[in-house]
Each structure stands twice: as structure tokens, then as C-alpha cells.
């Protein structure tokens, strides 16, 4: 039984009009074998009676193979050693290969710096909430989502509105505070158009927007929030 790949190539070469000698040379077999395949009906057998299996590519020996343990040990002790320094060291130990092999191997095995742990930003309960508008383009038009997120519990309140205005913001905050059952001590606003009337980067407080939020809290009988200024960015 001959390999499926050989039979596929034999059929292909015959369809291309190659001679039996050329086919035998391409398949690295004798002409007798080619005639035998044809005479015994090898081309008439089903070619899909098994998956194609390819042998694993044999490992190619490299001059650096005998020095991998030295490089790994040195990097384990001194992770910042350069490939140039390691190349010089293994040359002293008898390595006769090129620098490129060393550089490529060091790039693979050099220990990476430890990743910084993810530190979650935490605030005490009731201290802070973040307020922002998100813009969505929908098939029926543009809509703005007002989002209010409590800093401690990550509890999210969201509502869609057709416009991004101060009136919409006040109505949305009223609904959000009623849902939460209170108001946090701080409200952090991203620089949304409904709130910004002057540039925070010039160090000016948004007194008008702050007064409206305080008035809303007074209407709801809730404690007044403390709205910290945005730090100046030079």
C-alpha cells in the first residue's frame, strides 16, 4: 500500500503530461515502481480513505544547543545580562557559532519583569459617584446615556436621553438619587458639555453647575454633595 500523497502526485504528474522517467525522478522511485502503480490500479483507489499525515520535521542541530543551559543559568542569576555579554561568555567556554543565534535565544528565554498587580480604586461607602454621558449612534438617531456609578459598590444607574443638556442632567440625577436612596458626598463629572461652562484647566470652579446640583439635593431633602474641583493641568 503506497502513501496517499504519492498517488496524488502520480495522478497530477500524469495529467500534466510528464513522462514516466520524469515522474520517477520527481517521486524518487524507479520507473518500474511507477509502472507498477499504474498497472495495479493505484490511481483508481479512493484517495480520501484516510487523513493526510505528515511526519514531524526533524530537529536541526545548532551550535548553541550545547550552551543553552549556561545561558539559562546566567539569566536566572542575572536577568539583565545582555546578549553581547552572554555571547562573549559562551565563546570563552568553546562556542563557535554566531551572535545571532545567541541573541534570538536570549530574547526567548530572558525572564520578563514581574507584572504589577491590578489595584482596584476604592472609596468608602457613600463618599463618591462618577457621572458621565456616553454617546450612541443608533439606527433611529443619536442618543445619550447618562451613567451614574457609585464608587464603593460599583452600582450603576443608566438612562438614555435624546439630548445632553443641564435639564436632562438634573432630571437624570434626581432619578438616580431616588433609586439609590441618597446622594454621595462627592460627584465626579467628566468634562461634559452639560456641566462645563468654563475651562477647568484654567483653574475656575463650575459654580453654576454646582449650585444646580446642590439645589436638587435640597429639593430631595438629601445632604449637599461636596464637588471637588478638577486638578489643574498645565
187-221 confidence digits (pLDDT tens) = 888 766 656 555 544 444 445 555 556 665 665 55
Residues 105, 173 within the same domain: no
231 lies in some domain? no
| Beta carbons of 105 and 71 less than 8 angstroms apart | yes
Mean of the pLDDT values across residues 33-45? 73
Judged by phi (left if over 0) then psi (alpha if -120 to 50, else beta), residue 218 lies in alpha
Closest by CA position to 8, among listed 28, 36, 27: 27
Instruction: Supply the CATH number for residue 173's domain.
Output: 3.30.420.10
Overall number of domains in the chain:
3
- Cell reading at 8: 496524488
Burial (CB < 10 A; 0-12, 13-18, 19+), residue 202, is exposed
Entry pTM: 0.38
70: containing domain: 63-109
Residues 90, 166 within the same domain: no
45-92 confidence digits (pLDDT tens) = 555 455 555 566 677 788 999 999 999 999 988 888 999 999 999 999
Residues 71, 39 within the same domain: no
Amino acid at each position: 500500500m503506497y502513501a496517499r500523497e504519492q498517488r496524488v502526485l502520480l495522478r497530477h504528474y500524469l495529467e500534466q503530461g510528464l513522462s514516466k522517467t520524469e515522474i520517477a525522478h520527481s517521486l524518487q522511485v524507479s520507473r518500474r515502481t511507477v509502472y507498477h502503480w499504474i498497472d495495479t490500479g493505484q490511481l483508481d483507489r479512493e484517495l480520501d480513505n484516510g487523513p493526510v499525515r505528515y511526519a514531524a520535521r526533524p530537529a536541526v542541530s545548532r551550535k548553541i544547543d550545547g550552551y543553552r543551559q549556561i545561558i539559562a543559568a546566567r539569566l536566572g542569576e542575572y536577568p539583565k545580562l545582555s546578549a553581547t555579554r552572554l555571547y562573549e561568555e559562551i565563546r570563552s567556554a568553546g562556542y563557535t557559532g554566531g551572535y545571532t543565534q545567541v541573541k534570538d535565544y536570549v530574547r526567548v528565554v530572558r525572564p520578563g519583569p514581574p507584572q504589577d498587580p491590578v489595584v482596584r480604586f476604592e472609596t468608602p461607602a457613600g463618599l463618591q459617584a462618577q457621572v458621565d454621558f456616553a454617546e450612541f449612534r443608533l439606527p433611529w438617531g443619536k442618543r445619550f446615556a447618562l451613567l451614574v456609578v457609585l464608587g464603593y459598590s460599583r452600582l450603576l444607574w443608566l438612562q438614555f436621553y435624546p439630548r445632553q443638556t443641564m435639564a436632562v442632567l438634573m432630571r437624570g440625577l434626581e432619578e438616580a438619587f431616588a433609586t439609590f436612596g441618597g446622594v454621595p458626598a462627592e460627584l465626579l463629572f467628566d468634562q461634559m458639555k452639560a456641566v462645563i461652562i468654563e475651562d477647568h484647566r484654567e483653574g475656575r470652579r463650575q459654580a453654576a453647575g454646582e449650585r444646580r446640583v446642590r439645589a436638587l439635593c435640597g429639593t430631595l431633602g438629601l445632604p449637599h454633595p461636596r464637588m471637588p474641583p478638577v486638578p489643574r493641568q498645565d
